[in-house]
Chain A
Amino acid sequence: MLISLFITCYNDTLFPETGKAVVAVLERLGHTVEFRQAQTCCGQMHYNTGYQAEAAALMRHFLDVFRDAEIICSPSSSCVAMIRDQYPRIAAHSGDPDLQRAIEDLIPRVYEFSELLVDKLGVTELGAFFPHSVTYHPACHGLRALQLGDKPIRLLREVEGLELIELPEATECCGFGGTFSIKNPDVSAGMLTEKIRCVLESRAEVCTANDNSCLMHIGGGLSRQRAGVRCLHLAEILASTEAEKLA
C-alpha cells in the first residue's frame, strides 16, 4: 500500500525522529511511504486561537498537497482531529460547494498512526522490542475527538520486553492546549504539575503518547525537574527492534 505521510509542521521541525519511526514501522510492514515535500501545516494552531481565515488558507494548501493521496497517515492525534472535525466546518463556512465536496472526499483517507495500524492495516504485532517500563498518556484529541480507545495500548502490549504501567488519572489533560499554555501559563503549569505527579507515581521509565505536543509539554516539565523520565512518541517505541534498538 502506498501511504502518504503527513508529518505535521512541529514534528517536521522539532521531532524528526518520530517521522523516521513512522517510516520505519510502515516499511517494515512492507508498505511504501511517500513524503510530499510541499506539505506544511494543518492550520490547527491558527484555528484554535481564533484565526479562522489563516486556518482556511492552510486547509486549502493541505488539500492541494494531498488531494490525490490514497492513504494519509499522521503521527499527531490533534492534527488529525483538526482535519476530521474542523475542515468540514471551515469548508461549510467558505460557501464553496466544490471545496466542501473535496474535503468530504479527503477526510476518510486521513488516519492517525495507531488508527492506520489497527483499523486499516489490521495489525498490532509489529515485531517491536523495547525492554523498558512504559506508561501511556492518552492525548485529549485522540481520546475524545478520535475515540482511539485502547488502540495504542493494544499496540504497546505486543511489544516484546515492554512493561506497560497504567498512568493514574490518565484521562486528565496535561495542560498544553497549544496557545493555551502561552495565554494561560499559570493554569497550564498547574495542570502540568498534576500530570507529572501521576507520571512519577507510575514509576515508569518512559512516558509515551501519540501526540508530541503533549509530550513536549510533559517532557519539558520532567526535564526541568530533572526527573529522569523520558518522553517518547508511540511510533518511536514501535519502531524499536531487537536488531535496531532505539538510540
Chain B
Amino acid sequence: MSVRVGEAAGAPKFPKAAKELIKNAQLRRNVRHATDVIRNKRARVVAEMPDWEELRESARQIKAHTLRHLDFYLQEFEQACVRAGGQVHWAKDADQANEIIVGLLHAHEAREVIKVKTMTSDEIGLNAALELAGITPHETDLADLIIQLGEDKPSHIVVPALHRNKSEIRQIFRKKMNLPDLGDRPEDLTNAARQYLREKFLRVKAAITGANFAIAETGSVCVVESEGNGRMCISLPDVLIALVGIEKIIPRFQDLEVFLQLLPRSATGERMNPYNSIWTGIAEGDGPREFHVVLLDNGRTNVLADPESRETLACIRCGACLNVCPVYRQTGGHAYGSVYAGPIGAILTPQLQSMRHSQSLPYASSLCGACYEVCPVKINIPEILLHLRGKVVERGDAPILERLEMKAAAFALSDEGHLELAQKAGRIGQIPFQRDGVIRSLPGILSGWSAVRDLKPIPAQSFREWWAARKQTER
C-alpha cells in the first residue's frame, strides 16, 4: 500500500529541519505577523459567541458519532450522490487515487485541469502524477497559485503561502507571469492573479476540487472559500472531480449549522466565509455535465482503528492550532515535512504513515496545550502526542542513548535510597562543569541546553536532607 503524505517519508527529522528554518529571520517575521493577525481576529469573533463551547461540544459529538459509524455514512453518501447523478470512486491509497483521477481526465482528453481547495491532492502528490501523465494542473486558489508558481511548498493548512510577504510574491509573479512592471500593492498582485486565472477558468474544461464537508444524507459536497475562485472551478468546467478524504463525511445537511459557524471563525477569524458552495450531483443545463467523487482512505482507516487517537480524524482543517502553536511560530510549516503542519500535522502525518516515518513529529511540541484550547472540535492534541510518543518507545524506535538514560533515571527514582545516591552523584559529577557557581557548558545531548542557558548547580543539601536534619534537631 502506498500511503503518501506529501513528502514526509523522505523529509529530514523535525529538529534538523527546524534548526535550518529558524535561521531565516524573514520567514519567522512573516509567520509571526500572519499568525498574530489571524489569531487576534479569531479571538475577537469567538468571544462574541455566547454558545461557542456548546458548538465545540456539538461538533465533537457529531464527528465522534460519524467516525464510529463511518462505514454506514460513507455508503449513504455514495447512494445519495449517485442518485443525484454523481459518480463515486473508492481509492485505498495515493497511487489508486492518482490513477483514478488521471484516468478520468484521459477519458475526456484533458491536457489541462484547474484545481482549487485540495490539500488532499498535495497529500497524494497529484500534481506530479498529472504532469507525468501529460496533464498540466493549474492551481487557482491565490495562495496555492503563489506556491505553484514559486515552486514552493505549502506551509500552513489554511494559508499555504503564509510564509511569503508581498514583495516576495511580486517577485514570483513578475517572473512567472512575465510582468516586469508589476507593483507590490495588494491590488496590483490580486489584479495580476485575476488576469492570469480568468483565462484558465474560461478555457479549461476540467476541474479538481477538495471538500470541506461531504453530506451523507444528500450526497452533497461543501467547499468554503474567500476568493470565489472555487466557485469558478466548480461551476464553469464540463467535468468536475472532488477528491474527498473519507473523514470529511458528516451525517446530515443540518450538521452544517454547527460546522459553518465554527470553521470560518476558527480558520480566518471571519463570521462566515465569503463563498459557501454546496452542490449535489449534476443539474441539467447548469454547471458541470459530469461529477465524480473520489473517496480517499490513504491510511485513514488505520487511524480509525486506534480508539486512543481516532479523534485526529475529526479535524476540519481550520488551522487554529497552527496559529497559536509556539513551536510552529518559530519554524513555520516546512519543518514538519508534510502538507499537514503544526500540532495537527504532528499527530496526523505520523499516523497516516502507520508511524513508519516522521517519528520525530510527536516530539515537536512542548505540550503547552494551546492547540487543544482553540480546537473547534476539541481534539485533545497533547494527549494524542503522548499516545504516539508511547508508540515510538514501545516499538523500540527511540534513540538507544535516550532509552538507556530513561532506564537509568527510572532506576534512580524507584526508591528513596537510589534517589539519594543519584543526588549525591550529581553533585560530584557536576563539579567539572561549574564556573563561579554556574554551569555554563554541558556535554553530549545536554549541549543544546547549555548553548543558550545557564544551569544552577545542584545545591549542597537536598530538601529531604534538610527535612531529616530539621527532624533531628526537633528531637
Contacts and interface: CB of A to CB of B under 8 A. Distances in A.
Nearest to B444: A182
Interface in B369-409: 369-370, 372-373, 383, 386, 389-394, 398, 402, 406-407, 409
Interface string A214-247: 0011011101100000000000000000000000
Contacts of B373: 144
Contacts of B463: 7, 11-12, 15-16, 19-20, 35
A140 B367 contact: yes
Given A12-B463, A37-B468, A38-B416, A190 B330 contact: yes
Interface size class of B (residues with CB under 8 A): 35 or more
Given A39-B416, A57-B414, A220 B366 contact: no
B49 interface: no
Given A12-B462, A51-B393, A185 B449 contact: yes
Nearest to A34: B467
A48 B415 contact: no
A50 B393 contact: yes
A232 B310 CA distance: 41
Interface residues of A, number: 65
Contacts of B369: 140-141, 143-145
B65 interface: no
B410 interface: yes
A72 interface: no
A48 B386 contact: yes
B415 A61 contact: yes
B366 A182 contact: no
Given A49-B393, A57-B410, A224 B454 contact: yes
A20 to B, nearest CB: 7
Interface in B1-60: 14-15, 18-19, 22, 28
A184 B454 contact: no
A35 B394 CA distance: 35
A187 B366 CA distance: 10
A54 B406 contact: yes
Contacts of A189: 448, 451-453
Interface of B is mostly: helix
Contacts of B228: none
A14 B370 CA distance: 28
Contact of B452 (A12, A50, A192): A192
B15 A183 contact: yes
Contacts of A185: 15, 448-449, 451
Interface string A185-226: 111111111100000000000000000000011011101100
A36 to B, nearest CB: 9
B458 interface: yes
Contacts of B365: 177, 180
A41 B19 CA distance: 32
Contact of A182 (B22, B392, B414, B445): B445
A176 B416 contact: no
B452 A221 contact: yes
A50 B390 contact: yes
A191 B366 contact: yes
A60 to B, nearest CB: 10
B304 interface: no
B456 interface: yes
A45 interface: yes
Given A20-B466, A187-B331, A224-B452, A50 B326 contact: no
Interface in A150-172: 171-172
Interface in B353-377: 360, 362-370, 372-373
Contact of A49 (B366, B383, B389, B461): B389
A140 B368 contact: yes
B407 A54 contact: yes
Contact of B330 (A14, A20, A187): A187
A176 B415 CA distance: 26
B453 A217 contact: yes
A178 B363 CA distance: 11
B419 interface: yes
A144 B370 contact: yes
A38 B415 contact: yes
Given A7-B464, A221-B453, A175 B326 contact: yes
A42 B18 CA distance: 31
Interface string B122-138: 00000000000000000
B423 interface: yes
A146 to B, nearest CB: 11
A181 interface: yes
A147 to B, nearest CB: 11
Contact of A173 (B366, B391, B451, B456): B366
14 contacts: A12-B419, A40-B415, A49-B402, A181-B449, A182-B446, A183-B15, A183-B363, A184-B363, A186-B19, A187-B22, A192-B453, A217-B453, A220-B455, A223-B454
The 7 closest A-B pairs by CB, nearest first: A185-B448, A177-B366, A220-B453, A50-B389, A173-B368, A50-B393, A144-B369
Interface of A: 7, 9, 11-16, 19-20, 35, 37-41, 45-52, 54, 57-58, 61, 86, 89, 140-141, 143-145, 171-173, 175-194, 216-217, 219-221, 223-224
Given A57-B410, A183-B360, A185-B15, 18 more contacts: A13-B458, A14-B456, A35-B464, A40-B413, A48-B367, A49-B398, A58-B414, A140-B370, A141-B369, A177-B366, A182-B445, A186-B19, A186-B22, A190-B28, A190-B330, A223-B438, A223-B454, A224-B452
Interface of B: 14-15, 18-19, 22, 28, 326-327, 330-331, 360, 362-370, 372-373, 383, 386, 389-394, 398, 402, 406-407, 409-410, 413-416, 418-419, 423, 426, 438, 440, 445-446, 448-449, 451-456, 458-459, 461-464, 466-468
